[in-house]
């Protein structure tokens, strides 16, 4: 089973889209194993977006992600990283397929509603930035046999 980080960004929180976004991942069959509602500070934002440091858009990115609360979540499932990314849609909302989160709700690249880890390796790093080991809930979903065929 893979685990991946998802952040519901300040624009989605402010627009009241938290429930609809969570619902999309649940409907795909992913299992929520950790969640918190936080106000990201600049230090955490800088660690999270370290790969973009020095780029022209970096200051705006940090200002945006710290401008309001975010919902940090860890989703678990087979191919969780790829499933989350497909459910979110591509970064540029105008290129995102209808039916994806960004395709249905996004208009601009700077306000693209969600973040999802881009690889299994980065997911492990990002999850560790936001969650300690003791914050995961390991639970058995009774519908699992209807979601996972065991292959």
115 given a catalytic annotation: yes
Question: Tokens in use for 130?
Answer: 């936001």
Q: Which of 115, 117, 126, 131 is catalytic?
A: 115
Closest CA to 12 of 24, 26, 30: 24
SS3 track for 76-107: EECCHHHHHHHHHCCCCHHHCCECEHHHHHCC
> What amino acid positions are annotated as catalytic residues?
115
């Amino acid at each position: 089973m893979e685990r991946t980080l998802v952040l519901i960004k300040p624009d989605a929180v402010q627009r009241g889209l938290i429930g609809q976004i969570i619902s999309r991942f649940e409907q795909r069959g992913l299992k929520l194993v950790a969640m918190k509602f936080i106000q990201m500070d600049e230090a955490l934002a800088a660690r999270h977006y370290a790969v973009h440091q020095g780029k022209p858009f970096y200051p705006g990115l940090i200002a945006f992600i710290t401008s309001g609360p975010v919902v940090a979540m860890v989703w678990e499932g087979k191919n969780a990283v790829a499933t989350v990314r497909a459910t979110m849609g591509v970064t540029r909302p105008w290129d995102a397929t209808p039916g994806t989160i960004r395709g249905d709700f996004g208009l601009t690249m700077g306000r693209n509603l969600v973040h999802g880890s881009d690889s299994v390796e980065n997911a492990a790093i990002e999850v560790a930035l936001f969650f300690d080991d003791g914050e995961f809930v390991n639970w058995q979903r009774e519908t699992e046999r209807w979601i996972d065929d065991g292959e």
